[in-house]
Amino acid sequence: MRTILSLLSLAFVAAFCIAACERSDEPAPAPARALDLVLVPHAGDDERDEAIQRAQTRVGTGQQIEAALGHLGWAYVAKARASRDEGYYRLAQACGEAIIEETAATTDSRPPEALLLLGHVAATFHRFSEAESIAAELVQRRGLPFDHLLLGDAFMEQGKIEEAIASYQTGVDLKPGLQSYARVGWMRWLIGDLEGAIEATELAAGAASPRDRESVAWVRSRLGHFRMLSGDRDGAKEELAIALAALPDYPPALVLEAKLALADGDTETAIASLRRAVAIEPLPEPLWLLAEVLIEAGQDEEAKAVFDELARTGERGDPRTHALFLATTGRSPEIALRLAEAELEERADYFTRDALAWALFANGRIAEARTEMDHALAGGTIDPRLFFHAAVIAHAAGETAEAADWIASAHDLYASLLPSERRALEGLAKNLPEASPLADGTTNPRSEDKP
């Protein structure tokens, strides 16, 4: 936190000086170099803080500056992942920019170490077309494993599935390991091969170093999610235990714990896990789930407060999920559509297509929603929300037989749906073909007394 505050202080001082110079007709000072930003003294005493401090010392010597700045940049990335503070990603980006600045006199092209950092940060901040351009340059110039994996990420998020598969395959061929196997697992899930997703993610988990606790928690949480989708709750709980042993307060693991608890009817544990998760990382998906579980538990006042926080912060935290939330609850179908359309400009994967389809449906544009839902389902991804949305949209379009098929698919993954989605699915199943899936108001509540 002190590092970020120090940067904010520098920015404030710079702004003050510029304003003062403008008032006194003095020339404004030159903007701070990226190197100055990344060398602001970093406080903290955990292992990642110490890694940053050592890397800053190395950069400060001026020796092998490109490699030293690259090492510092990835130390900032590691801190960002552990702390879930995006400010450290911006410092990693500054390291890439500093490499370019410090080597400009000796090279006409941007050094690959700088490009990889800049591409990684671009992908992290969902600037996927920029990440694709950077990764393509890296692949052309050197073609190392992580260059291909970065290119695959950019392709995948833009819905370029065949290109992503080719890039990931090259990456895993060049360097089998945690990062490449995990991406293969994710891609297999996206294209409907859940068994293959589990197999590849098991390989990724086996390749994770026990010393890298964040990676262990990350890959085990993902594997637990896949096992839950396959119906193997016991296996999911085993993966969860490993994840939480590595990092007891890892938000994705806590969300998985909550979902497994809900599947067992343990609302109390689910609420406790979700409260911990959102205290660390208040993203729309866990906030939404927490609010719904609180309603199920009769804790309406707290649920309303969580819903209000989600309405206030969701767009910044995750525009796509926030669009789904706004469309599902009926709070603002118009804003939901705007967010989904804006997201599609940069991110055209199956889940963004689903968000757009659902927002179109919420705005009464059924035919367009059907078209987008077809795009969302094109890969065969095994996901309960995709199936639920497909059922509702097909029913609205008068395709009752198709709706029934999607209801059956969603019901097989019933435990992974939100409580309100479960109720809507049950209502739709009971009332086909006569009743509207929104007739009971559970999926699209608009009344003033709803949180």
Alpha carbon distance 249, 143 (integer Å): 37
Could you give the CA distance from residue 257 to residue 259 in angstroms, rounded to a whole number?
Answer: 6
* 114 found inside a domain: yes
Does residue 156 lie within any of the structural domains? no
Average pLDDT along the chain, 451 residues, taken 10 residues at a time: 38 39 50 86 92 95 93 96 91 96 87 96 96 98 97 97 97 97 98 97 97 95 97 96 97 97 95 97 96 96 96 93 96 96 95 98 98 97 97 95 93 89 91 47 36 37
CATH of the domain at 408: 1.25.40.10
Q: Rounded distance, CA 148 to CA 164, Å?
A: 9
Q: What integer pLDDT is reported at residue 8 of this predicted model?
A: 38
At residue 231, the pLDDT reads 93
Domain count of the fold of the chain: 2
Domain membership flag for residue 358: yes
Domain hosting 337: range is 319-451
Residue 19 lies in a domain: yes
Alpha carbons 203 and 199: distance in angstroms, whole number: 7
Q: Is residue 342 part of a domain?
A: yes
What distances in angstroms separate CA 100 from CA 93, 94, 96, 104, 255, one per listed residue? Answer: 11, 10, 7, 6, 40
Kindly state the helix (H) or strand (E) to which residue 156 belongs, with its residue range.
Answer: helix 145-157
The whole-angstrom separation of Cα 91 and Cα 176 is 29
The DSSP letter of residue 349 is: S
- Choosing from 96, 125, 154, the residue where a domain stops is 125
Total-model pTM: 0.85
User: φ, ψ for residue 51 (rounded to 5)?
Assistant: -65, -40
Q: Is residue 262 part of a domain?
A: no
Whole-number pLDDT of residue 449: 39
pLDDT at 30: 52
Check residue 82 and give its pLDDT.
Answer: 85
* 436-447 core/surface letters (b: 16 or more CB in 10 A; e: else): ebbebebbbbee
Boundary residue ending a domain (105, 125, 145) = 125
Q: In whole angstroms, give the CA distance from residue 397 to residue 438.
A: 14
In a domain, 133, yes or no: no
Asked if 444 contacts 438 with a C-beta cutoff of 8 angstroms, the reply is yes
183, part of any domain? no
Cα dihedral sign for 248, 250, 253, 255? positive
Q: Which of 312, 367, 368 is nearest to 340 (CA)?
A: 368
**Domain end point (choices 125, 154, 186):** 125
